[in-house]
Every structure is written in structure tokens, then in C-alpha cells.
Amino acid sequence: MKVPPKRSRFQKILRDKWMYLLLLPGVIYFLLFKILPMWGVLLAFQNYSPFLGFWGSEWVGFEHFQRFFSDPDFVRLMRNTVILAIYDLIFFFPAPIILALLLNEVRISIYKRTIQTLVYVPHFMSWVIIASISYVFLTTSGGIINVLVERFTGSQISFLSHPDWFRPMIIAQIIWKESGWGTVIFLAALAGVSQEQYEAAIVDGAGRFRRMWHVTLPALRSTIVILLILRLGNFLDQGFQQIYLMTNSLNRDVADVFDTYVYFMGITQGAFSYSTAVGLFKAVVGIILIFGANHLAKRFGQGGIF
């Protein structure tokens, strides 16, 4: 039998030219908006001046990083950001999983679709609307939550200004806004689970909880691992809009995170190079966490993202 000649790389590309043509818009998008802007991180090693330009500004090496790590605000920012990130992993990350498991158990189709629509809606609201709703419900000037609290306890709680309530309020907002949308991926993964597995579990006498534990959750394991790895890449990203809108002079000590610090230093004070150094530090930490989490996932027999 005659063996066909081995194709060169160029011949393979030429053969699949229409597939590569379909890929071209995505490649152009990432080149223009993701790859080329990465040259901007060089500002972190300059004393950048808009009047001197990118190439005319003085190169200072790691001076901005040394200044940032020696700044007393560094410890406070790291503490606030890490605490919020840990709360996010503990309370928010499991929320879409639990909600997806509960939705998967709803057998009446119209109820399931209605519930899904209702829990998806908050995702499409901006953080400005979420902050406004929080203010209306939690303010001490007639907020419905405080009215109920005062009726039962005789006093009100300063949810919006007391530092102890800031982090629970932020996590509660994230859970309410994003949990429903987060179920999309998990429900898509559950759609591929064979019904024969559930039928076999029923034959073996497994109840609903047992079927969920031994059939549904194992089907989600790889998806959970991948999303957890990706989430760790954004460990220090707590979102500027939400934190900025909920911050005030009374809770600022616990509310300041790297995202708001970059805004105040870079935009309001014009320290472009310094704020770029802070942003680059966040990115490096995210890369380290992604590689570390991916390595651990493979060590424990799970599939990583690469």
C-alpha cells in the first residue's frame, strides 16, 4: 500500500484556509486589544511623563515597586483584598454550583425556566443599580431592612457605613447578582450527563440526595476545577465599580483594595507609572496562582487548563 506523502505545515494551512479565515477576526481582536496594549506595562519601569512621551520618559527600573512594597498602605491593601478574595471563594464560588444542583432537580419544565430567568436578571443590572438598590434597602433613613430591624430590636444598624458590615454586604451583592448567571456553565455540563446513570442509581436504591452526590457532582468535577483555576487568576481583582460605589469615608479602612488604589493613584493623582506597577504586581500574582493551581490539579489527578 502506497503511503501518502507527508504534507508540509504550509500545505496543511493552505488545505484548511477557510477555517483559518474564520479564525482571523478573533486573532485580530486579541492582537489589537489584548497583545499590543501589553507594551503599556513598560510604564511601570519608567517615570512616565505625558509631555516626554513613551520613549522620552526616564527609565527608573524597579523604583516604583520598591516604593509600593515599602508603602504603609501596601499591608492594608493586601489584607483588604485577600480577605475579600477568600470570602469570595468560600461563599460565592460554591453558590452557582449549589443553585445549579437545585435547578437540575426541578422536573417541571416551566417552573425551571421561570426560576432560571428570574435568577439571570440581576446579572444584566449595572453595579450602579445594585448600589442604588442596596442604599434604598439598607439606609438608616427609612430603608426597609432597617425599618424591620428597628421594629424587632428597637435600634437600627449602619450597614452602609459601619466597617464590620462592608465585606458581608459586598459578598451578598455578588452572590445575588452573579450566582444565577454562574449556573449557565454548570447546567450545560449537567446536560451531558447520561440519564442511564440516574436510572442505574435509582435501581440501586439511591435517593435524590445520593444521586446528586454520586452522579451529578462527579459530572461537574472537571468544570469546577477549571473554573476554580481561572478564578484564582483573578484572586486580587475585586472589581473597581462595586467597591468604589459602596465606599465612603467611614468604611474606607476596610474598603480600599488594589483596584480602587490604582484608580486614585493613576487617575486622580496622575501617578501613571506607579499605578501601572501596582497593576503589574496584581497580574504577576494572578499568573503565579494560575500555574500553581493548575499544577496542583494535575497532581491530584484532575485535568487542568493546560
The identity of residue 262, as a single letter, is: V
Q: Alpha-carbon distance 204 to 206, whole Å?
A: 6
pTM (2 d.p.): 0.85
Q: Strand ranges (DSSP E) for the chain?
A: 46-47, 58-59
**Closest to 80 measured CA to CA, from 228, 251, 234:** 251
Measured CA distances, 51 to 235, 268, 269 (Å): 35, 18, 16
Question: What mean pLDDT is predicted for residues 63-90?
Answer: 92
Rg for the chain (alpha carbons), in Å?
25
* Of residues 7 and 137, more confidently modeled: 137
Helix (H/G/I), strand (E/B), else coil: 145: helix
Nearest to residue 183, comparing CAs of 285, 278, 101? 101
The predicted structure's pLDDT at residue 5: 64
Q: What is the pLDDT of residues 109-130, one digit of tens each?
A: 898 889 988 999 999 999 999 9
Out of 51-55, 130-134, 151-155, 228-232, least confident range: 51-55
Confidence of residue 244 (pLDDT cuts 50, 70, 90): very high
Lowest mean pLDDT among 84-98, 124-138, 198-212: 198-212
* Closest by Cα among 60, 84, 285 to 172: 84
- Checking if the pLDDT of 288 tops 80, the result is yes
Using CA atoms, how far apart are residues 121 and 180, in angstroms rounded to an integer? 8
Neighbours of 189 (CB within 10 A): 17
The tens digit of pLDDT for each residue in 169-198 reads 999 999 999 999 989 888 888 887 777 887
